[in-house]
Amino acid sequence: MFMNRRAGWIVAGVIVALVSVFTMSGAANDPKSGVRASRELGTKGHGKMVFALTTGLEDLQTVSMAIRHAGMARKSGYLDDSVLLVYGRGVQAFAKDITAKPPQVSAAIKEAKEAGARIIVCGEAIKRFDIPKDKLDPGVDEVVPNSIVTLAELVSQGYQVIKY
């Protein structure tokens, strides 16, 4: 029951964030206000999102959902950028040698990458979980020294945050 409620709140958060991105874009084209945006609704490039994944393989549904949502958001065409920022126990889902990692996680990573999502992993977390950089999934774009500093940087650049 707790897992279903948690998943429901996560999905609701993603929907609210996506709707707010779409709504802000549409409001800029409101003929009543006289304001016209330089981009039409439905064209690429209306915002940026960062999906912060801290949950590990103990909650496989949430891990898979975060990865898939980052890819789907990028594939939607409404965002300039979609980043999956992985830290804490979440880094275990990106280690090649973790035997507890089911194949659907690797498939979700591949799909997110094909959709254009960027995957950034915390260097501090991979040290804590003793995961060498060369043992990370090939879908990882970058290992940053500290994910919280990176998250602060992304927020300062206008990224909206969804936490998993």
Does the pLDDT value for residue 25 go beyond 60? no
Superfamily of domain 2-33+45-163: DsrEFH-like (3.40.1260.10)
Per-residue pLDDT tens for 44-55?
667 999 999 999
Does the pLDDT value for residue 113 go beyond 70? yes
- Beta pairing partners, 50: 83, 161
The average confidence (pLDDT) of the chain is 83
- Beta pairing partners, 12: none
| 10, burial (CB in 10 Å: exposed 0-12, middle 13-18, buried 19+) | buried
Per-residue pLDDT tens for 137-164?
999 999 999 999 999 999 999 999 999 9
52, two tokens: 């912060």
The pLDDT of residue 29 is 46
pTM score, whole prediction: 0.74
Estimate to the nearest angstrom the gap between the alpha carbon of 17 and the chain centroid. 12
Estimate to the nearest angstrom the gap between the alpha carbon of 42 and the chain centroid. 21
Residue 121 to residue 156: CA distance in whole angstroms: 19
Per-residue pLDDT tens for 73-100?
999 999 999 999 999 999 999 999 888 8
Residue 61 to residue 84: CA distance in whole angstroms: 16
- Beta pairing partners, 82: 49
